[in-house]
Chains A and B, each alone.
Chain A
Amino acid sequence: MKFLFDLDGTVTSMETLPLIAEHFNVQDEIMELTRQTVQGNVPFVESFIKRVGILGQLPVNEVNDLLSSVPLYPRLQEFISANKEQCVIVTGNLSCWCESLLKRIGCEYYCSEGQVENNQVVKINTILRKEQVVDTLKAAGETVVFVGDGNNDLEAMRHADIAIAAGMTHSPAKSLFAITDYLFFDETALCRQLNLLL
């Protein structure tokens, strides 16, 4: 059994994007892009490329430092720590931005990858397709549980053996309701279910 988790708003108890935007004072551009993406006017991959276009100019080490202290859901963090070998974080974020945070969480992780030069992201090398991680683990004989909250988790959740939508930080994307097995709005209830699945 493998437990795969989206990062932003699923394991972290706040969204990282507004945090970065506020810290570096690029809220207007990011908020407009986020609004368009949430409304479905801009597809996720296009939105991600545009996001990196805006945030890539920011000093990578400062973004990484900022994200390293983002609060996590404590019980979820406990579950991951207690079952490190079975847990995997699957995030579309660039590894150079969230590596410290991911090391703090302490389990295996998959991210998108960017090329860093002079402390800036100059190029996106890969954009993670979360469903491919699910498929690879399933092909290796694992039963896969995927916990996510956004439209970009939809395919991974559809491919997973057990799909869990989490609405703890914000309401989960309504698109997930058509495919998810479970839906939680409370961390304790979510962790109870994860323990029952072990």
Chain B
Amino acid sequence: MGNFDLLMHGFSVAITPMHLMLMVAGVLMGLVVGVLPGLGAPNGVSLLIPLTFALDPTSAIILLTSMYWGALFGGSTTSILFNIPGEPSSVATTFDGYPMARNGQSTRALTLAFVSAGVGALMGILVITLLAGWASQFALRFGAPEYFAVYFLAFAAFIGMGSAAPMKTLVSLTTGLILTSVGMDSVTGSIRLTYGFSDLLGGISFLVVVIGLFGIGELLATVQEGLRFRGVSSKIDLRDVLKTLAELPKYWATTLRSGLIGIWMGITPGGPTAASFMSYGVARQASRQGAAFGSGRPEGIVAPETADHSAGTCAMLPMLALGVPSSATAAVMMGGLMIWGLTPGPMLFATKPDFVWGLIASMYVSNLLGVILVLATVPMFAALLRIPFTIIGPMIVAICFVGAYTVSGATFDLWLVLVFGLVGFLFTKLDYPLAPMILAMVLGHKAENAFHQSMLLSDGSLGIFFANPLVTGIMMVALALLILPKTLGLALSLRRNRKVVA
């Protein structure tokens, strides 16, 4: 069956009353999560996973991904109306979105953001649809060494391409790997790193860590700055919406360029945040009136939003085809897949076509639904931010702790949330990235298993990671991603310094 037939089959799975309802519910919950500070997409998805155990995996993933899209939309809403990015990936939207809204054009700014986000998402899904079959075919040739090389590639890309200092990324990554070693070792069955504490026997759940790091940590950061919202009018005028829609085709070049940047950053582990910043920067350089950026240029909204959403959707492709998530939220979802008893990777395409193609088809539908829903409900959700923080803050805290408790019903996890909340706050303040820690916690066991199996195959020789062209190629790309970006940057800045001196 070709991809098109599979996609049509996917639509028949995705478009049922039950699934449409889940999409609406997911998008709406995502909007709440995206709008409220302290509840981000990774954290929101973690909170929802324990509630999905009763659903079948296809329904569950549709609910979770819809929530993710909703959170991306919600993050843009607060960026534009309140100058508060609800999500890290919508920081770049504040640069031009908020000034435009301040000028009394909030409807225009929101419409530009939502529609270009929708377009970006569609571009991303289109790429997934085209590549999914091929990527899984490619991945079928993978053995244990290739898998380890791919995991190594994911880690290397985070270190080399991330915006943080490489050594800080490395600390975050290795901390995650050590945390995931706690408890039962899945290869040898021995109990590791519990130091005699029975609470640690079951290991440390990455969901609990996400809730602490992203939920409580972000709340602490919000609290210490003291919340003061200066919102602008959030009324949506239908005539302005239509006028903006007519204006959109003018920005086709920005949209196309940003979509491609997003797709690239989504498939390689750059993530939506890096994609939106990069796309904003490129749009600014490409524009002839570069100076006007930051004062409410429409391109300044279109560029980051398109890239943000195309990267967000494309992050699903490596997660499904290879089992390598390229964003924190995708990592959490992949952890969910494993909890539901599915193994992400090429076999998923062969054994569970309903799941994979149902998900891909649902992404088309739920993103379209998302654009309509978010335009219709923006005033309502913006009102959420007018509730005093002294009320909404403790409620978010309570929801985070309830979410952590429902993961496995252990009271020890409540203390872990508190500890990781502090860690998240400290790490954010000191520019340690958090996503690599989550990635490492989700991939740690798989990476170790792949390493173990490779070592059994090769009788302990590391040469197996360079034994055939495929694995050598992946390793080479990984090493290049690890070393090149930072050294190139260093060399360039050295040359610039020398020029200044001379």
| A and B from one complex | no
